[in-house]
Amino acid sequence: MTGIDRIIENALAEDIHTGDITTLAVVRTDREARAILKAKEEMVLAGIQVAARVFRLLDERIVFTPCFGDGDRLVAGDLIAELSGNASSLLQGERVALNLLQRMCGIATLTSRYVEEVRGTGARLVDTRKTTPGLRVLEKYAVRIGGGINHRTGLYDGVLIKENHIAAAGGIAEAVQRARSYIPHTLKIEIETETLDQVAEALAAGADIIMLDNMEPAAMAEAVALIDGKALVEASGGVNLATVREIAETGVDIISVGALTHSARAMDISMLLEGC
């Protein structure tokens, strides 16, 4: 079973558990039906194959026919997919499929808005680890569909020395030195800074990426000038659609936005059965 299959199986078990009482009570087991998925607002589509997989895992006889692909831009009224098969299976898969699809479309749509805001500046928009527990692989995929870039996947695939690490290690220089002696040469070291003095210290310590955390745009511009291409510069903290363009124009290379995954609104998608 793949990681995505495990996510879906867990979601189905959570929802159906010992059985869909309503469907068992009111729907004949041999009833066949058709259904449609329809967009009820503008959005960037993400997760169509995940939705299809929900029904496939429930009942391999269900036919799921997408009308659009991930990354396509939809408007209200667009037909996203057509389904046919056992009515009970369609009903049991409806909420899990919609929950995942609506969530992923919301993330892709929000990401696309941020990407559009920084277009032409050279800044890259990335996500964070502020994801829904258990859904990170799907949510980070949705960020990519929306035009963003993934930051580290977890604690295991990148060194990011933050405020608490610095305190525990005894300072920026000590933290960078310890990290450098521990990791292979193939990994980069990123360090979080909050002041220009810390930026200078991180630069002197040999950090590969310097994060500017919750700095005002004017201070960011000073930091970019101070770093002068000797390290990549990431802006982070409190970024929103109203501020992201100004931040991008300071010259930073990367802007990380936790809101892409922790604050994206689920898109409005409906599933309707026809021809029962």
Residue 275's pLDDT is 59
Residue 274's pLDDT is 83
Q: What is the mean pLDDT of each run of 10 residues along the chain (276 residues)?
A: 89 97 96 98 98 97 98 98 98 98 98 98 98 97 98 96 97 97 96 98 98 98 98 96 98 98 98 80
My answer on whether 176 and 257 are in the same domain is yes
Measured between alpha carbons, how far is 5 from 57 in angstroms, rounded to an integer? 8
Catalytic-labelled residue, pool 129, 130, 180, 245: 130
What 3-state DSSP class applies to 6? helix
Decide if 230 is catalytic.
no
What's the CATH number where 198 sits?
3.20.20.70
**Residue 238 belongs to what domain range?**
118-262
- pLDDT tens across 94-131, in order? 999 999 999 999 999 999 999 999 999 999 999 999 99
Measured between alpha carbons, how far is 101 from 88 in angstroms, rounded to an integer? 20
Catalytic-labelled residue, pool 192, 201, 234, 253: 192
Decide if 245 is catalytic.
no
Contact by Cβ (8 Å): 210, 229: no
How many angstroms separate the Cα of 203 from the Cα of each of 227, 229, 231? 7, 11, 7
**Total tally of structural domains belonging to the chain:** 2
My answer on whether 219 and 148 are in the same domain is yes
Catalytic-labelled residue, pool 119, 162, 230, 265: 162
pTM surpassing 0.75? yes
Decide if 162 is catalytic.
yes
My answer on whether 154 and 108 are in the same domain is no
My answer on whether 65 and 176 are in the same domain is no
- pLDDT tens across 19-31, in order? 999 999 999 999 9
